Structure 1
């Protein structure tokens, strides 16, 4: 038995005696939904290369040889740079890009100083040992098999769906897991479509609320307040619940500008918005 999975069974056995644990899912950076998140993140990275404080919101739909991108932005990004990001992340696919300016009323909200960029409810929840462990397992498998994959933990039941991998080799490492229930498969965007912010459970665990984490600049509460709530929950070990209205200048007792700076430092530390999109917050 893999040491990783053996530890999970022991830990989960103890937790189940105390009332059970939630199911957990992780998808890897080559899952079609994560390809969409990564392309959106790469475009936001391009915006920050042009301006220190851009306004941008990007949605991506990818699959079956097509990549559709809709951008609401204050920044003029070179289309060749966007095409290169799409090809680098998504492969040989046809880009379809629509660029529109950000809404005038939304733009006025940020004039003069940083204010909350949206209405929203946000939650931060401390990660469980199971969530951390499944994240480690997902990363370990992806290092060996960098292709589309999904991993689920439900109590002592571990499900591994990993494309372009020998199921027997995975069974040897994880003998008590369910490996590729339908057999070996190829995966990717020829099998399934991907869309931005469709795997927030994988990205945020129990901290999921209504806001999408990817494809937006840091003035957007969906990015900055989500990051703030998640980090505070990890630091304090306690759940955090916040709400805000568009235009708020203070959230959680902090100036909104400080929350944005905290999120900016977090993004800088991990390597950018595309890197955030690879695995999310854990």
Structure 2
């Protein structure tokens, strides 16, 4: 069973905004410390950022407007906790506690993700899609049932009926669609709105990539301050994750589809 949402889903819009702010931090420093939470809906975007890099409110507002439209922006920025900041100084150390796993993506999951991407190219509106082997459910906004039927002839299409979707219909929040982003690899922590020191980002990406390469499940655990994880230097894990993020075009682009794309 697998659920995939597209980049216009309100939760993914929140993830994309959070990713855009992390990209802004990385423009200022190679290794910033930042964690961003976004709650968006019904004309307003609330953002809290804990960061070592001061972000321009004009840049923050521009990112929100570019991704989500001309909403009211409520932005609060605070420095990183002094104890966490001290722990992270002088070396590349794990910035969070966690248990993480990577699981090979199945053919069914790949097929659904590919189909959703192609559909989004034609219909770039809020949508959610579910498959469990015997049942497929397609909820696509701003498109009629008759248009979708030839594309998904065996699916249940828009069970609710035609709908508008978007942030005027539903709220969105950061990291609420990890199942869509990670499939069976979901454990604790969130992928989006955080810098590479956070295990939620780097260890999740590292474990997921290793599982796809070996085609075997991977499990890893770590604690704040660790300089190695299961014998692997944390700096190596961070650089592997950095290379992956750069390969997809940055944190905002990563947030569009997650790891299963």
State the TM-score bracket (shorter-chain normalisation): over 0.9
Q: How does 1:8-157 map to 2 (within 5 A)?
A: 23-157=1-135
Q: Which of 223, 230, 238 is 2:208 aligned to?
A: 230
Q: How does 1:171-182 map to 2 (within 5 A)?
A: 171-182=149-160
Q: What are the Cα deviations for residues 161-210 of structure 1, in whole angstroms up to 9, with x where unaligned? A: 00011210110222111110121111000000000000000000000011
Aligned residues: 260
Q: Return the alpha-carbon distance in structure 2 between the equivalents of residues 176 and 27 of structure 1.
A: 19
Compute the displacement of 1:154 (Å). 1.4
- Which residue pairs with 1:200 in the alignment? 178
Query: RMSD of the TM alignment (CA)?
Result: 0.7
Q: What are the Cα deviations for residues 97-145 of structure 1, in whole angstroms up to 9, with x where unaligned? A: 0000000000011111011101100010000001100101111111110
> Is residue 2:175 matched to residue 1:169?
no
- Which residue pairs with 1:247 in the alignment? 225
Q: Return the alpha-carbon distance in structure 1 between the equivalents of residues 61 and 130 of structure 2.
A: 33
Deviates more, 1:151-160 or 1:35-44: 151-160
Q: Please tell me whether Structure 1 or Structure 2 has the larger radius of gyration of its CA atoms.
A: 1
Q: Return the alpha-carbon distance in structure 1 between the equivalents of residues 187 and 228 of structure 2.
A: 20
Gaps in structure 1 of 5+ consecutive residues? 1-22
Deviates more, 1:85-94 or 1:33-42: 85-94
SS at match of 2:117: helix
- Which residue pairs with 1:17 in the alignment? none
- Which residue pairs with 1:273 in the alignment? 251
> Is residue 2:163 matched to residue 1:185?
yes
Normalised TM-score (structure 1): 0.91
Q: Return the alpha-carbon distance in structure 2 between the equivalents of residues 83 and 60 of structure 1.
A: 13
Q: Return the alpha-carbon distance in structure 2 between the equivalents of residues 143 and 64 of structure 1.
A: 25
Q: Return the alpha-carbon distance in structure 1 between the equivalents of residues 179 and 151 of structure 2.
A: 26
- Which residue pairs with 1:5 in the alignment? none
Runs (4+) off by over 6 Å: none
Q: What are the Cα deviations for residues 22-58 of structure 1, in whole angstroms up to 9, with x where unaligned? A: x100000000000000000000000001111100000
